[in-house]
Amino acid sequence: MLSLLKIEWLKIKKYPAFWWMLGIVLLTYPGINGIFINVYQQFTTRKDAAGSFAKMVLGNPFAFPETWHTVAYFSSFFVLLPAILVIMLITNEYSYRTHRQNIIDGWSRTDFITGKLIDVLIISIVVTIVYIATAIGYGIYADTDNLNRWTEQLHYIPLYFLQTFAQLSIAYLLGYLVKKAFIALGIFLFYYLIVENILVAYLKYKKIPITRFLPFEISDNMLVAPAFAGNFGKDAKSGYEAALALVPQQVALTLVLTALIWFCCYKLHNKRNLS
Amino acid sequence: MEIILSLDEISKSYGPIKALKEVSMQIPRGSVFGILGPNGSGKTTLMSIVLDVLKANSGTYSWFGKGNHPTERKKIGSLLETPNFYHYLSAVDNLNITSAISGRGNPEDINRVLEVVKLTERKNSRFSAYSLGMKQRLAIAAALLGNPQVLLLDEPTNGLDPVGIMEIRDLIKSLAQKGITIIIASHLLDEVEKICTHVAILKKGNLLTSGHVDEVLANEDIVELAAADMEQLKKCIAEMGGYSSIKEEHQRLQVHYPLGTANMEAINSHCFRNGITLQLLFNKKKSLESKFFELTND
């Protein structure tokens, strides 16, 4: 296992796209959260009634411990950045034909898939570290009075990690099956950004309650919209609480789906001709 | 004799096309084993199967008598079809990966093999910047890492210039002299003939023949003769008898005898006694090329 990790790191550490992805993630995660904190501050610093109303309704979503939740929610919009990298890492193996060479040199088929699993884990961990750093940064910046509450709601860290890993696993599966980088990226972006969103909107409009079972929605529903969202509208509070109650189910479903994806990859790869 | 690789009735088909039909063979230790055949005869398919890149539809193979476990594959230096490396990595980084996966070689050894294939000066350049010949050299370097006792080379001189071809041929010869088992697929027959101890000939997925070069090539004795008066010579040899056929071409007489029956001394003295002085007399082995065409022509 350790030697597989070492070999995958040899492949990744000099891959320019890895460092580009890391750089962009380092900019976008604090960036998107920065935009929201900016909007929040503009609202709440107003001296009029609207300002104090906003402060009352919103609370401070970036103060500890809410920052764990808020930053996780906003950062998760950008999973497509590491997803592009995951797709590149697997489709590169096909275009360089190193998926054959690794086997010729003495890896088993299982070793190869485990190597890729390690890649997806490495990227998920890196992205989660950026998330943790961003959440801590904004937590300190937003409200120093709440610093002692930093240990509350820490469960958002494993939830964020699991969501990232689950969604990157879907990206991996696409790259693994499609083999061609641009086609896989095209399908991924088209489905992730357009198809599933339209499906969700349509099914909700038709009041067919199955949206939470769609591939990305399964894990999206582990990180429900931040607490302040529950303070808008007359049904919002009950909707928010219902969504929170479903989180354990969504976690279980996510684990099942992700395990199934990797199980299929292992099974298929052990039978496949590597052409 | 120890068997390095044995194949037992390996069959492989791509849809309706049968690429290999129940191929069985054994490759002994220390041999230089040539796998020959026209394009599309199944050479690369055969090598891909024993390296676990393709799955056979039926049949089994075994490395070192221990089956097909990946650990056995690590001991073999292989070059299959095209050089496959990470384009964004240098030669050294690529060989580091090969070394880490196979457990063959170390940093000093990487420098050694790069020196052998004359890539030392460009060892830190990215693979994507290499010419076709340099890529092929790097693939040979990867196969040589850690001095494996078995090499499996599929068209190793592909993409090389004439000097490169000669260098690689000399390299293979010197490795063979050290007792390393070399399994080599090539369509350059004179190349193979110069270095192989054993051959297997494939055609459309069928194994036509396999075994020691001398056994495969020599199924009859061929004696070539020439004299000033060719008509007289022909008559004289015909009188002597014992042959299976006589052909005359390019001012030479080619006489075929059943295997092991040509007696050069007797032929010489018989001609001399009949007043013919020979200008040429030698026992000719059939060339691999003519054997190849004989077997593979429809």
Whether residue A230 is predicted with pLDDT greater than 70 in this model: the reply is no
Determine the residue among A104, A108, A110, A119 to mutate to test chain B binding: the one whose Cβ has the most chain B Cβ atoms within 10 Å: A104
Whether residue A229 is predicted with pLDDT greater than 80 in this model: the reply is no
Determine the residue among A7, A99, A105, A111 to mutate to test chain B binding: the one whose Cβ has the most chain B Cβ atoms within 10 Å: A105
Q: Report how far Cα B288 is from the mean position of its chain's Cα atoms.
A: 10
Q: What's at B71, amino acid-wise?
A: T
In this prediction, residue B291 carries a pLDDT of 75
Is the CB of A12 inside 8 Å of chain B's CB atoms?
Answer: no
Judged by average pLDDT, the poorest of A193-197, A208-212, B69-73 is A208-212
The tens digit of pLDDT for each residue in A245-273 reads 889 999 999 999 999 999 999 999 999 99
In this prediction, residue B49 carries a pLDDT of 95
CA distance B124 to B137: 15
CA distance B87 to B89: 6
Q: Which of A14, A97, A102 sits opposite B82 (nearest CB)?
A: A97
CA distance B39 to B111: 35
A144's tokens: 């120093």
Q: A97 CA to chain B: closest CA distance, Å?
A: 6
Q: Report how far Cα B41 is from the mean position of its chain's Cα atoms.
A: 15
Is the CB of A267 inside 8 Å of chain B's CB atoms?
Answer: no
Q: A111 CA to chain B: closest CA distance, Å?
A: 10
Is the CB of B44 inside 8 Å of chain A's CB atoms?
Answer: no
Whether residue A80 is predicted with pLDDT greater than 80 in this model: the reply is yes
CA distance A54 to A40: 8
According to CATH, the topology of domain B3-216 is Rossmann fold (3.40.50)
Q: Which of A6, A7, A106 sits opposite B73 (nearest CB)?
A: A106
Whether residue A56 is predicted with pLDDT greater than 70 in this model: the reply is no
What's the CA angle centered on B239, arms B237 and B241, to 5 degrees?
75
Whether residue A231 is predicted with pLDDT greater than 70 in this model: the reply is no
pLDDT band, residue A146 (cuts 50/70/90): confident
In this prediction, residue A179 carries a pLDDT of 95
In this prediction, residue B134 carries a pLDDT of 92
Identify which of B6, B17, B24 has the alpha carbon closest to the alpha carbon of residue B208.
Answer: B24
Going from N- to C-terminal start, the domains of chain B cover 3-216, 219-296
Q: Which residue of A has its CA nearest to B45?
A: A275
B85: chain A residues, CB-CB within 8 Å: 96, 98, 101
For residue B181, what are the contacts with CB-CB under 8 A and spacing of at least 6? B4, B27, B28, B29, B30, B31, B32, B33, B149, B150, B151
Phi and psi angles of residue B182, each rounded to the nearest 5 degrees, phi first: -125, 125
Q: Report how far Cα A61 is from the mean position of its chain's Cα atoms.
A: 20
Whether residue A48 is predicted with pLDDT greater than 90 in this model: the reply is no
Class of the CATH domain delimited by B219-296: alpha beta
pLDDT, one tens digit for every residue, chain B (298 residues): 789 999 999 999 998 999 999 999 999 999 999 998 888 889 999 999 999 999 999 999 999 999 999 999 999 999 998 899 999 999 999 999 999 999 999 999 999 999 999 999 999 999 999 998 899 999 999 999 999 999 999 988 888 888 888 888 888 888 888 899 999 998 777 777 778 889 998 989 999 888 888 777 766 788 889 998 888 888 888 888 888 888 888 888 888 888 778 888 989 999 999 888 999 998 876 667 777 777 777 6
Q: A107 CA to chain B: closest CA distance, Å?
A: 6
Tell me if A109 sits within 8 A of A103, measured CB to CB: yes
Is residue A65 reached through a cis peptide bond, with omega within 30 degrees of 0 on the bond before it?
A: yes
Identify which of B179, B176, B218 has the alpha carbon closest to the alpha carbon of residue B34.
Answer: B176
Chain B contacts in chain A segment 193-232 (CB below 8 A)? none
Q: Which of A3, A96, A109 sits opposite B84 (nearest CB)?
A: A96
In this prediction, residue A235 carries a pLDDT of 62
Is the CB of B171 inside 8 Å of chain A's CB atoms?
Answer: no
Is the CB of B100 inside 8 Å of chain A's CB atoms?
Answer: yes
Among the residues of chain B, which ranges form H helices? 43-50, 70-73, 91-102, 107-116, 132-144, 162-177, 189-195, 213-217, 230-240, 264-273, 288-296
Question: Do B54 and A104 make contact, defined as CB atoms within 8 angstroms?
Answer: no
Whether residue A25 is predicted with pLDDT greater than 70 in this model: the reply is yes
A104: chain B residues, CB-CB within 8 Å: 51-53, 73, 78, 80
CA distance A154 to A143: 17
Is the CB of B51 inside 8 Å of chain A's CB atoms?
Answer: yes
Phi and psi angles of residue A46, each rounded to the nearest 5 degrees, phi first: -65, 140
Is the CB of B107 inside 8 Å of chain A's CB atoms?
Answer: no
pLDDT band, residue A232 (cuts 50/70/90): low
What is the ipTM metric for this complex? 0.88
**Are both B3-216 and B219-296 of the same fold?**
no
B194's tokens: 């110069």
Question: Do B51 and A104 make contact, defined as CB atoms within 8 angstroms?
Answer: yes
In this prediction, residue A43 carries a pLDDT of 76
In this prediction, residue B100 carries a pLDDT of 96
Mean pLDDT value across residues A76-104: 94
In this prediction, residue A57 carries a pLDDT of 65
Is the CB of B78 inside 8 Å of chain A's CB atoms?
Answer: yes
Mean pLDDT value across residues A181-188: 95
CA distance B77 to B154: 11
Q: A106 CA to chain B: closest CA distance, Å?
A: 4
CA distance A75 to A64: 17
Whose structure tokens read 């221990």? B66
pLDDT band, residue A234 (cuts 50/70/90): low
